[in-house]
Amino acid sequence: MNEPAIRLSKLVKVFGETRAVDGLDLEVPAGAVYGVLGPNGAGKTTAVRMIATLLRPDGGEATVFGHDVVREADAVRSRVSLTGQYASVDEEMTGAENLILLSRLLGHRKPAARDRAAELLEAFGLTDAAGRQVKTYSGGMRRRLDIAASILSTPDLLVLDEPTTGLDPRSRNQVWDIVRVVVAHGTTVLLTTQYLEEADRLASRIAVIDHGRLIAEGTPGELKSSVGAGSVHVRLREAADRPEAERLLAEALDAPVHLEADPVALTARIGDGRDEVAAAQASAALARLAGAGIVVDDFSLGQPSLDEVFLALTDHPATEEAAA
Ligand SMILES: Nc1ncnc2c1ncn2[C@@H]1O[C@H](COP(=O)(O)OP(=O)(O)OP(=O)(O)O)[C@@H](O)[C@H]1O
Ligand SMILES: [Mg+2]
């Protein structure tokens, strides 16, 4: 069996009264993107800072490629690169100067450092901006430069702490592309995020944490199916039909029906774990609505979203936006 990239055992970090990380057990396989998903204050940054040796655990153990983060911190540091919510690049210098300087600090000679910088700037679409001071960069450009800086030396483990928070959809997509390229080159990526969609798209496994504890772990598909086979989403033509539709759906699906904020929308989670049963129930439900003369504009059966997964696991939404 391959050695995991990261192994956490009963990891603890306490700040005064706050147990920021509260007995976290985790195993991150090498060679893929591993997502750590959790709301504000869940303990994501605290956990990854311990993994990157920037913060000393108060209890438990963490190893990176078999090396203990406390006793063998140097060995860990030589293999890990962290791109933080707190960035590493110098605002006053240009993008190219930053990368060349960091490459020189890593021990590369000047021509090699220049070449590597030019290569990364090109790969990350920053060639045109290479000669500009970083303080003139947009958020997306800045984030790409941060990631470029952290893979100058092709780390075995790249830790990305909320790499797309605050970015527009286009910049977010660019960062996702970069992450895929990095992984294709053999680097293990540990990525924290508050975005369920991001974890779903990028990660082959996801840990859901809340209040410093692991509340679920698995592939995106496993997490979704642990909540139920699927969700039925219905949009009616007329809001006035909703009470009747709610009653008919609850009967046909034998499941509680959730009334969405949108006055024509209803959702129901189908509890049975088998896809064919869910499909049969869903089509029976649709027939009941049609039979009662209720006009349905949209009807779909899908896997629950990770938002629904989060709500089911924690009894609260993952994000402020989801709550709103
Ligand atoms: N240096 C510190 N001193 C005191 N409390 C801290 C410190 N760092 C973190 N905390 C607390 O620990 C908890 C976990 O914080 P952490 O930053 O790890 O969460 P997070 O999951 O990264 O959140 P976010 O998504 O907002 O970045 C929070 O309650 C936070 O206020
Ligand atoms: Mg954080």
Q: What is the DSSP string of 173-226?
A: HHHHHHHHHHHHTT-EEEEEES-HHHHHHH-SEEEEEETTEEEEEE-HHHHHHH
State the distance from the centre of ligand 2 to the C-alpha of 116, rounded, in angstroms: 30
State the distance from the centre of ligand 2 to the C-alpha of 45, rounded, in angstroms: 4
Cα atoms found within 13 Å of the Cα of residue 185, Cβ hemisphere only: 14
User: Which ligand has its closest atom nearest to the C-alpha of 14?
Assistant: 1
Average of per-residue pLDDT across 283-306: 89
User: Which ligand has its closest atom nearest to the C-alpha of 15?
Assistant: 1
Instruction: Work out which ligand 1 atom sits closest to the CA atom of 45.
Output: 22
Domain ranges of the chain: 6-224, 229-303
Per-residue confidence (pLDDT) for residue 1, from 0 to 100: 52
Per-residue confidence (pLDDT) for residue 102, from 0 to 100: 85
Superfamily of domain 6-224: P-loop containing nucleotide triphosphate hydrolases (3.40.50.300)
| Residue 138 pLDDT > 60 | yes
Question: Best of 11, 15, 17 to mutate for ligand 1, by most ligand atoms within 8 A of CB?
Answer: 15
Instruction: Work out which ligand 1 atom sits closest to the CA atom of 47.
Output: 18
Ligand 1 within 6 A of 42 CB? yes
* Residues around the ion ligand 2 (C-beta < 5 A): 44-45
| Residue 236 pLDDT > 50 | yes
Per-residue confidence band for 321, with pLDDT thresholds at 50, 70 and 90? very low
Ligand 1 within 6 A of 84 CB? no
Q: Which fold has domain 229-303?
A: Alpha-Beta Plaits (3.30.70)
Average of per-residue pLDDT across 62-86: 87
Q: What is the mean pLDDT of the chain?
A: 88
Nearest CA residue ID for atom 28, ligand 1: 41
Per-residue confidence band for 322, with pLDDT thresholds at 50, 70 and 90? very low
Per-residue confidence (pLDDT) for residue 323, from 0 to 100: 42
Per-residue confidence band for 271, with pLDDT thresholds at 50, 70 and 90? low
Q: Where are the alpha helices (DSSP H) in the chain?
A: 44-51, 73-77, 95-105, 110-123, 139-150, 169-184, 196-202, 220-227, 242-253, 275-291, 306-314, 320-323
Per-residue confidence band for 229, with pLDDT thresholds at 50, 70 and 90? low
Per-residue confidence (pLDDT) for residue 231, from 0 to 100: 82
Per-residue confidence (pLDDT) for residue 86, from 0 to 100: 47
Per-residue confidence band for 107, with pLDDT thresholds at 50, 70 and 90? confident
State the distance from the centre of ligand 2 to the C-alpha of 294, rounded, in angstroms: 47
